[in-house]
Structure 1
Amino acid sequence: MSDKDGASLWESVVANAARPPFHRDLPAGPSPDAPDLAPDPRNLFSLPYMACVEALADRLFLEKVVTLDDGSMRQLRAADARIDRYVLFRATWTPAFGERLHLALRDFNAACIEREGSHFANLSASTQDALLAALEKGDFSQSEWSVLHSQRDAFRTIYDAVCEGLFGEPGYGGNHGGIGWYYSNFKPIGT
């Protein structure tokens, strides 16, 4: 299977993935509270939330080197799959999903600021990994996580959203160009 330029689907996917990713820079340290979702679920897509989604994707699914059909190697990043677009689509389509994800991201970022003094997206990779491990295990202290829902539920909500955006059907906004499928070594029929 090839595109209009004669390149294989695999080559097209990897060429798009090789483009420099767009990264959102946040100011260091605490910043104003993220917007509330109650009036409009699309507020989930403010700068702090989208930077957090990208950083979470890259920590939950580390960069991976893949081999192209021509034998050359390329590096793929989970954030290049445009998971934030999937999350926007899904939150607009299913407001309950958007609200759950909003609360999980808001509370997780608040715990990151409490423990480390900065948003998750601004922290080093090793610190991000430690914070994700703490969230998954429910290890944030009561002073760091003072909300009513479980830390493990927040982790599961975040993880599920990233997985859906990385491996789902590209028509829903994520998995741009099928990057997630190639990331997982799944090749659609006909390639």
Structure 2
Amino acid sequence: MKNMSKVLFILIFSISCADEPNFLQLGIESFKVENYSLAKNQLKMVNQSDKDGLLAKRYLSKIDSIEASNRIVVQKTDSINSIKIKEQIKNHLGNYKVSVIGASMDKSVEVFQLKEGGESVWLWVDYVDGNPMIDDKKYGTWWLDSKGNITIRVKGNTGVIEEVFSNIDGRLIELNRKKRSLLKTSELF
């Protein structure tokens, strides 16, 4: 038993005295495969007072420069996408009749008004002698996602109703009920 304890002690001692990993080499390898976060952590483990410390500092500086450049690219891309979405939003403002395949829009129709600032209005419109008469009105919001889908959310009689319309072959078709689509109209309500 005593001999076993000595062997175990020697084994633990030799493991604890093992060389540290070469953090400089590990950091350089991580840098080469563009894993900058890991490379930074590994290079920060290099003793700054020895000869490898200077090289580690140079790599850390390169990583900081690359990350700053990447942030600028992301900001520019986000800004460009934001401008494109704002332009698309302007194109989608207005009144839309809801067309349902197989249903007539002569006597009554569902209408969405998409307004600036993300406000939406849902209307149920009856036509009396050819003139539109608003029978019911609900308020809500709308937005456009990065894929060009229009989401309209309205507070209905039984709770919130959300519909998503996607541009498919030039038509704004509701994703859940493919028979429904939005038709832009210049008709005033």
TM-score by length of structure 1 reads: 0.21
TM-score by length of structure 2 reads: 0.22
The structure where strand makes up a greater share of residues is 2
Higher relative contact order (CA 8 A, sep 6+): 1
Q: Which has the larger radius of gyration?
A: 2
